Structure 1
Amino acid sequence: MRRLVGLAVLLALLLAGWAFVRQRPQDLPWTTLDLARPIGLFTGRKLAALTGDPAQCRALLDRAGIAYRAMPPGGEGRCAFRDSVRLTPDREAVALSPASVAPSCPVAAALKLWEWHVVQPAAQRLLGQSVRTVTHFGAYSCRRLYGRDTGAFSEHATADAIDIAGFVLEDGRRIAVAADWAGEGKDAAFLHAVRDGACGLFSTVLSPDYNAAHRDHLHLDQAERGATGWRACR
């Protein structure tokens, strides 16, 4: 037991030293999440830990200068939600379409980091231009997994998920998960890159590679289990 404790302390010291040298506090599990910093080793866990703490999550949005509108609680029972927000687009932000979508605050926070550090860099690198709009199939839906009559409830039932359908580029060209995922060109490479990048920010990321039910979208959710490091990325 002493050896295990000693090893854990040593690993923590090595991690702290590594993060200090690189000046990346976001790579440490005990530092406070800061949305203004690049994605770190524990950013995804910290985002998932915000589930159930609307005040802290909204404070992080405020500090990062993210414009949003807090929505009133709604639903009931297993489909109750109380921390949904509607992101307010500005000139430099990627618009969500439809704009009325209101995912939970942790999902919204992850979406902004995804936009800044994954989507736009991948679009510039692979497509030579920025993304103007992200299209989606919605966030809140009071239902069980896959719309079944029995079984576990979907993260959509508490607005802790959003389904991304595609992207509109600055020149108006559209890239859709349904039409472009299976290709071998730059559009497919872009879709795979943004899927892979989302895996460090969301508890669950499911794509057409997972099953036929996700053939036309990327499912991104912030399940509470993500705070413990239990993640799914397919």
Structure 2
Amino acid sequence: MPRRRKTLRAMPISRRIGRFRWDLRALGLLALFALVVAGWSWVRAHPEHNPWAPLDLRHPIGMATAGKLAALRDDPGECRAVLDRSEVGYAALDPAGEGECARPDRATLEDYPLAPDTPPVTCAVAAGLEVWRANSVEPAARALFGSDVARIEHLGAFSCRRMYGDADAPWSEHATGNAIDIAGFVLEDGTRISVLGDWAGEDAKARFLRAVREGACDVFATVLSPDYNAAHADHFHLDQGGSWTGACQ
């Protein structure tokens, strides 16, 4: 008796669709895994964007820089470790003051072009000044004037007072040395740029001041400029107090 040939029945269309969906899911998971691996490799190669990488002030400003700097405000020991790791010269000073103006965290930067002197500030302010100089002030001076920065002029850091000189106002960040007021810049070629005299306008000096103001907003909790009010017509107020969502004006 001749044998019957078996015929293969086509797979039901519902099963084919189901298998196709699983194939797509598998491909999607593989693609997602590849993206995660590639993204993690990229983050590891760019520590300025990696929130778990130790902060080094020599790195460019990245997505994680602001958060890392903010974390230093309440941890002077870690902040000093960051300065050491970043090879930033500084001197840690003994505590001073009392009450609302107690300053348990005091440091002075070495080889930093502040003038007329280098005032004690909190370590977090010192770290911010270093990042600001390297990533904003010096690049803007070279780009707009082709010159390096000789001096960054300031109006002081510590002042045991309340905000606005009002006896009922909150205590100023200056009361603990957690702020500094920057009045101007002198370049190596002799060019002087003053917040009071050069903020208005569209020339190179005005563009420089706006560039460094914006750069300061990347590293300080609060930045106040002449755009804020008349009391800041002659300086930039930079501080590391409060939350990272402070003013940038």
Same fold judged by TM-score > 0.5?
yes
Q: For structure 1, list consecutive stretches of 5 or more residues without a partner in the other structure.
A: 1-9
Look up the match of 2:232. 214
TM-score between the two structures when normalised by the length of structure 1? 0.86
For 1:56 and 1:22, how far apart are their aligned partners in 2?
A: 21
For 1:188 and 1:22, how far apart are their aligned partners in 2?
A: 38
Look up the match of 1:6. none
Contact 1:68 1:88 in 2 (8 A): yes
Instruction: Letter of the 2:125 partner, please give it.
Output: V
**Which of 196, 199, 216 is 1:181 aligned to?**
199
Query: C-alpha displacement at 1:17, in angstroms?
Result: 1.7
1:51 and 2:66 equivalent?
no
Residue deviations 1:134-177 (CA, integer Å, cap 9, x gap): 00011111111112111211111111110000001002221110
Identical aligned residues as a percent: 55
Contact 2:43 2:50 in 1 (8 A): no
Instruction: Letter of the 1:177 partner, please give it.
Output: V
Contact 1:79 1:142 in 2 (8 A): yes
How do residues 123-142 of structure 1 correspond to structure 2 at under 5 angstroms?
A: 123-142=141-160
Instruction: Letter of the 2:70 partner, please give it.
Output: A
Q: For structure 2, list consecutive stretches of 5 or more residues without a partner in the other structure.
A: 1-31
How do residues 11-22 of structure 1 correspond to structure 2 at under 5 angstroms?
A: 17=39, 20=42
Look up the match of 2:221. 203
1:37 and 2:59 equivalent?
yes
Look up the match of 1:146. 164
Look up the match of 1:99. 117
Contact 1:52 1:83 in 2 (8 A): no
1:72 and 2:94 equivalent?
yes
Contact 2:43 2:49 in 1 (8 A): no
- The alpha-carbon distance between structure 1 residues 232 and 28, as it changes in their structure 2 partners (threshold 3 A), is farther
Query: C-alpha displacement at 1:217, in angstroms?
Result: 0.3
Instruction: Letter of the 2:49 partner, please give it.
Output: D
**Which of 163, 185, 197 is 2:181 aligned to?**
163
Count of aligned pairs = 216
Contact 1:86 1:103 in 2 (8 A): yes
- The alpha-carbon distance between structure 1 residues 117 and 45, as it changes in their structure 2 partners (threshold 3 A), is same
Query: C-alpha displacement at 1:52, in angstroms?
Result: 2.6
TM-score between the two structures when normalised by the length of structure 2? 0.81
Query: C-alpha displacement at 1:128, in angstroms?
Result: 1.3
Contact 1:51 1:224 in 2 (8 A): no
Query: C-alpha displacement at 1:18, in angstroms?
Result: 6.9
Query: Which secondary structure does the structure 2 equivalent of 1:58 belong to?
Result: helix
1:24 and 2:46 equivalent?
yes
- The alpha-carbon distance between structure 1 residues 111 and 74, as it changes in their structure 2 partners (threshold 3 A), is same
